[in-house]
C-alpha cells in the first residue's frame, strides 16, 4: 500500500515512511492510494469473528509490505487489551464506551497502535525518533501512556495552558522517562500550528527525526476504524439503519468511521456533533470551508477552529459536496445544551455522560427526531471522571476515581512553559 500527500507535491511512500514522517514534506496529510472493501460477507458474518480478527482484517491492507502479518497480529492484540462496551441508554440510542483503556479515552487505541508500530520500525535502529504532538486534552495522555519507555523514542507534548482538565494535565505531565510536556501560552490551534511548522523547518528536521502522534499520522488515525465495527457487532438485533454520532474536534475519529464504512461496514449516516466551534456545521450549509479562531467550551477536546482531518473526509468523497451531504450531517450545540443533556440523561437513566459524549448524544437525538427508522450510536470518548469540574455540579453527584486516575493524581506536574515557536525550536534542538 502506498500513501500520497493530499497536497499532491510529494512522492508516494509506504506505511512505514508515512508513520515515521507523520506529515508529507509538502505539508499535506498522507492518504491511502486505494481503499479495498472487505469481502461481501465479512460484516454480514461479523458475529463469527473475534475483536482481534476484525481489527486485523480492517488494517492489514494499509500496513501490508511494511509489517509482516504475524507481527501485525501481535501489534493488534497488544493494542486491544481492554473492552469497548455498547450500552443501551434508551430506545434505539446506544453509547459506545471508549474509555476502558489505560488513560480512559478513545485515543488509547490509536496511541497504543502507533507506539507499537514505531517500536517495530525502530527495532534495529540506534537513531532516536522524536514524537511531536499537540493535544487539546486526551491525545497527550494517550500518547504519553502508549509510548512510555519505548526504546529510541522521545515524546514532546504541547498543550494549551489552562485549557485542559486537571486529570488530563496530570496524565500528560507526570509520566517522566522519555515523555516531555510543554505548556503553551495559547490555544490548541496555536499548539497544532507550532507542530506543523516544526515539521517544515529544515533547521530542525536536518538535526532531529520528527514524527507526529496526532490524528494526522496514519497510524493514529486508521486504527480508530476498529471500534466502529466492534459497536456494530454488539448492536441490538434486528439491526436497523445504523447512524453514528461522533463528538468532533479535529475530525480524525469520524473520518476513521467513514473509512470503516468504505471497507463495507453497514452505516447509513454519520453525524459530526460539535460544540461552539462550528466550522464544519457551517461548511455543511453551503460547502464553504472557513477556519475560525477556536473558542473555549466545557468540551475542551473539541475546541478546534481548523480541523486537520476534514480534508481527508473531503478526499474520500472526491471533494463532491453533494456526496458529502448524502452521508454526513453536522450540528453544533452550546455549553448550556450540553449540560442539560447530561442532567436529563442522568435523571432519566442514571447514565453519566462526559461533556463530549453529551454533544454526541445531542447530535444523535436531533437526527433521530426526523429519522425514526434508525438505530443510533453516540461515542462516549472519555470517562466522565476526567471532567469532574464540569460533570459533578451538573448531575449533583460525586464520581469515584477509577484506579487509572488515582495512580496519576498524586504525582507532581513537570512541564516547561513556552509562548512562541522559537522557544519550541530551541527546545527541540538543544535537548536532542
Q: Which residues are catalytic?
A: 107
Give the separation between CA 410 and CA 123, rounded to whole angstroms. 34
Q: Are 225 and 259 in contact (CB under 8 A)?
A: yes
Q: Are 219 and 67 in contact (CB under 8 A)?
A: no
Give the separation between CA 244 and CA 269, rounded to whole angstroms. 7
Ranges of H-type helices in 123-199: 138-147, 166-173, 188-199
Residues β-bridged to residue 2? 14
Separation of first and last alpha carbons in the chain? 32
| Cβ density class 405-416: b for 16+ within 10 Å, e for less | beebeeeeeebe
Give the separation between CA 91 and CA 264, rounded to whole angstroms. 26
Q: Are 182 and 156 in contact (CB under 8 A)?
A: yes
In Å, how far from its chain's centre is CA 409? 24
Torsional sign, CA 382, 58, 149, 21 = negative
All cell numbers assigned to 397: 453527584
Give the separation between CA 167 and CA 101, rounded to whole angstroms. 15
Give the helix/strand (H/E) hosting 331. Answer: strand 328-332
Q: At what angle do helices 107-121 and 138-147 cross, to 10 degrees?
A: 40
Give the helix/strand (H/E) hosting 377. Answer: strand 374-380
Q: At what angle do helices 335-349 and 388-395 cross, to 10 degrees?
A: 60
Give the separation between CA 203 and CA 425, rounded to whole angstroms. 9
Give the neighbor-by-neighbor strand order of the sheet with 328-332.
86-90, 93-97, 374-380, 241-247, 269-274, 328-332
| Burial class, 318, CB count within 10 angstroms (exposed 0-12 / middle 13-18 / buried 19+) | exposed
Torsional sign, CA 36, 320, 259, 229 = negative
Give the separation between CA 33 and CA 299, rounded to whole angstroms. 34
Amino acid at each position: 500500500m502506498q500513501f500520497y500527500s493530499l497536497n499532491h507535491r510529494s512522492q508516494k511512500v509506504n506505511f512505514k515512511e508515512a508513520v515515521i514522517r507523520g506529515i508529507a514534506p509538502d505539508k499535506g496529510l498522507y492518504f491511502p492510494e486505494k481503499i479495498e472493501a472487505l469481502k461481501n460477507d465479512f460484516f454480514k458474518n461479523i458475529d463469527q469473528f473475534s475483536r482481534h480478527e476484525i481489527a486485523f482484517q480492517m488494517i492489514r491492507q494499509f500496513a501490508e509490505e511494511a509489517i509482516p502479518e504475524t507481527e501485525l497480529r501481535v501489534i493488534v492484540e497488544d493494542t486491544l487489551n481492554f473492552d469497548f462496551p455498547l450500552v443501551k441508554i434508551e430506545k434505539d440510542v446506544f453509547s459506545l464506551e471508549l474509555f476502558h483503556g489505560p488513560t480512559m479515552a478513545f485515543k488509547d487505541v490509536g496511541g497504543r497502535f502507533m507506539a507499537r508500530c514505531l517500536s517495530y520500525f525502530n527495532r534495529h535502529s540506534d537513531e532516536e525518533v522524536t514524537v511531536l504532538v499537540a493535544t487539546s486534552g486526551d491525545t497527550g495522555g494517550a500518547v504519553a501512556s502508549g509510548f512510555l519507555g519505548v526504546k529510541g523514542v522521545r515524546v514532546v507534548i504541547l498543550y494549551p495552558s489552562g485549557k485542559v482538565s486537571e486529570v488530563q494535565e496530570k496524565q500528560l505531565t507526570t509520566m517522566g522517562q522519555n515523555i516531555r510536556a510543554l505548556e503553551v501560552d495559547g490555544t490548541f490551534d496555536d499548539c497544532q500550528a507550532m507542530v506543523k511548522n516544526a515539521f517544515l523547518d529544515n533547521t530542525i528536521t536536518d538535526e532531529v527525526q520528527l514524527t507526529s502522534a496526532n490524528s494526522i499520522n496514519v497510524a493514529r488515525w486508521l486504527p480508530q476504524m476498529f471500534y466502529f465495527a466492534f459497536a456494530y457487532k454488539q448492536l441490538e438485533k434486528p439491526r436497523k439503519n445504523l447512524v453514528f454520532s461522533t463528538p468532533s474536534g479535529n475530525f480524525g475519529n469520524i473520518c476513521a468511521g467513514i473509512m470503516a464504512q468504505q471497507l463495507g461496514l453497514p452505516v447509513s449516516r454519520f453525524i459530526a456533533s460539535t460544540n461552539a466551534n462550528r466550522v464544519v456545521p457551517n461548511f455543511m450549509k453551503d460547502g464553504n470551508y472557513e477556519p475560525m479562531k477556536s473558542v473555549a467550551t466545557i468540551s475542551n477536546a473539541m475546541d478546534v477552529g481548523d480541523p486537520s482531518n476534514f480534508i481527508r473526509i473531503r478526499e474520500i468523497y472526491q471533494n463532491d459536496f453533494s456526496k458529502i451531504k448524502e452521508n454526513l450531517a453536522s450540528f453544533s450545540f452550546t455549553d448550556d445544551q450540553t449540560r442539560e443533556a447530561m442532567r436529563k440523561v442522568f435523571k432519566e437513566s442514571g447514565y453519566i455522560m462526559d461533556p463530549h459524549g453529551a454533544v454526541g448524544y445531542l447530535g444523535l437525538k436531533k437526527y433521530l427526531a426526523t429519522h425514526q427508522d434508525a438505530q443510533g450510536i453516540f461515542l462516549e470518548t472519555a470517562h466522565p471522571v476526567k471532567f469532574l469540574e464540569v460533570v459533578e455540579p451538573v448531575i449533583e453527584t460525586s464520581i469515584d476515581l477509577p484506579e487509572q486516575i488515582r495512580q496519576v493524581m498524586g504525582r507532581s506536574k513537570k512541564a516547561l512553559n513556552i509562548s512562541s515557536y522559537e522557544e519550541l525550536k530551541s527546545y527541540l534542538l538543544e535537548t536532542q
